[in-house]
Every structure is written in C-alpha cells, then in structure tokens.
Chain A
Amino acid sequence: MNRLTLWFHKFGSPPTFYWLAGLLGPWFFGASLILFAIGLYGGLVLAPPDYQQSDAYRIIFIHVPAAWMSLFIYFFMAVNAFIALVWRIKISETLAMASAPIGAAFTAITLATGSIWGKPMWGTWWTWDARLTSELVLLFLYLGVIGLYNAIEDRRQAARAAAFLALVGVVNVPIVHFSVKWWNTLHQGSTVRLIGPSAIDGSMLWPLLVMALATKLWFFGSLFARARVSVLELEGGKDWARAEALRSGDMA
C-alpha cells in the first residue's frame, strides 16, 4: 500500500476516528463561537444601515452564510455518498449520514430567515419563486435522506440506500445556485462574487465572510460530534467501544 492509502486506513479506522474527532470537535466549536462573536459585532454594531433596507438587511448576516452552508453541506454529503457507494468506505457512509441533519438545520434556517426578511421587504412571507422553491426541495431531499436512513433496519443497507438518494439529489444543488440567473426570480442575484469585485461594501462584506467561516467551522464541529456517536453505535460489539462505554460509566 502506498502512503496515502495507509494514512486513509489508519485515520478511517473507527477507534482512531473516534479519538481524533473527539479531540478536534471542541476546537472547531470554540473557534466557531469566537468568529460568531466577531461577525455579530461587525454585522450588528459596526456595519452601517443599508440606504434602501435600513437595518432589515442585517438578516443577511445569517441568511446568506446559512444558505451557503445548505449547498456546501449537500455537496459534502454527496461526495461522501459517492465514495461510500463506489469504494464502500465505512467512514464516508458515516460522514454522509451525519452531515444530513446539519444540512437540514441550515436549510431550515435559510428558509425561515429568508421568509422573515421577505415579509417587510417584499411584502410576503413566501412566493413560489425558483430560488425559494428549489431551496425547499433541498430541505425535502435532506429530510428524505434522514428518513430513508432511519427506515431500513440494516445499518449498512440503510446507508447505501440513503447515499444513493443523496447522490441523485445533487442535481438540485446547481439548480439552487443558478436559479436566480436561469429564471426571472423575485429573489435577488448574488452580490458576493469569487471572481471580480463584489457588489457589497467592505464594511458589510467582512462580517458576512466571518459569519460564513464561523458556520463552516460549526459544521465540522457538529459533524465530528455526530459521526463520532454513529461510529460508537455501529461498533458497539467491538472491544474498544465496550472499553469506552465502561470508561464513561466510571466517570458518570
């Protein structure tokens, strides 16, 4: 085996992953909380009100990062689902299934905050606009993956079926992203661009990016916490998992 495969097997082995995730998880949560504090201060206090939307625009400091995460997590889940289906790597199965509830949470936040912003700005809580509808479909895809995984008794078969659904559903990700370009939507186009200058002032842009980074770190913190428990449950019969259970019993 070459060095990369060796490394993969070592860190993909359940006890090592359990230990490593337990070690890294709290750091991701901690760094995320610090960035949330900085981003909130920048977004709620330092950034000036918008000339058209007054202070209502401040909702974007959570709405946009949550929306980015809803797509990022889906992509992450689909990549892991692909690896799980093709190479049957157990840890990818676990990671894909653990990311689904976090993705659903961020998608729900996106829809709820978008709706709350839409009421004063558009005059309606909801409209069957291409962006809104495709984001709602994204939520249903997440819920479908979670539901399918929990509906099948055999854990590995359940993961394979749910991974397949996650992989098929990935077609929705570009639809969500490009919906504001392809159709005439009420939802505005993107103002933050990777290529070329963003159509947003620097004083509003930096808190947005800090919040985006904070949600990303939060995702990995939560992912590690969730995947770790799944690994423990799946490996319940193994010696290391029994040792961990007894050790935690001594502490309690």
Chain B
Amino acid sequence: MNDFFVMGGYGAYVWSSFAIFFIVLIIDFIAPLLRRRRVLAELRGRIKRQQKRPEALA
C-alpha cells in the first residue's frame, strides 16, 4: 500500500497532478451552481419590485 503512495519516488509529482485535476473539476462543477443561485435570487428580487409598483411592468 505504501508503494502506491510513493509511486516509485515520484509521489509528489503524480499526486499533485491528480489533485490539481480534481480541484479544477470541482470548481468547474460548483461555479454554475453558484451562478444559478445568484441568477434566480436576482429574478425573484426583480419580480418582487415589480409587484410593489405595478406601473413599472410596462
């Protein structure tokens, strides 16, 4: 098992590469979720403001 982490002495290079790969993919996964939340909140805010002032609909 230890051999697996040592990777023939190249452990630091191999594991940092795989870490970068998956960290970037996780960011890529989260970014649209956060943006979706922001867009929906913005839309709800806009709807609320329009409900307060119906004449602003036009």
Interface secondary structure of A, over-half rule: helix
Q: What is the distance, in angstroms, from A241's C-beta to the closest C-beta of chain B?
A: 6
Q: Which residues of B contact A102 (CB under 8 A)?
A: 28
Contacts between chains A and B (CB distance < 8 A), count? 97
User: A242 at interface (Cβ–Cβ under 8 A)?
Assistant: yes
Chain A interface size band reads: 35 or more
Interface secondary structure of B, over-half rule: helix
**Residue A112 contacts which of B7, B20, B42, B44 (CB distance < 8 angstroms)?**
B20
> Are A236 and B13 in contact, CB atoms less than 8 angstroms apart?
no
With A66-B21, A109-B24, A229-B39 given, is the CB distance from A116 to B16 under 8 Å?
yes
Segment of A84-92, A138-146, A149-157, A244-252 in the binding face: A244-252
With A105-B24, A236-B46, A246-B47 given, is the CB distance from A226 to B13 under 8 Å?
no
User: CB-defined interface of B10-43 with A at 8 Å, one 1/0 digit per residue?
Assistant: 1101101110110011011101110110011011
Q: Which residues of B contact A246 (CB under 8 A)?
A: 44, 47
Q: In whole angstroms, how far apart are the Cα atoms of A4 and B29 in the complex?
A: 32
Q: Which residues of B contact A49 (CB under 8 A)?
A: 8
Q: Which residues of A contact B27 (CB under 8 A)?
A: 105
Q: What is the distance, in angstroms, from B6's C-beta to the closest C-beta of chain A?
A: 8
With A54-B8, A59-B14 given, is the CB distance from A222 to B32 under 8 Å?
yes
Q: Which residues of B contact A225 (CB under 8 A)?
A: 29, 32-33, 36
User: A10 at interface (Cβ–Cβ under 8 A)?
Assistant: no
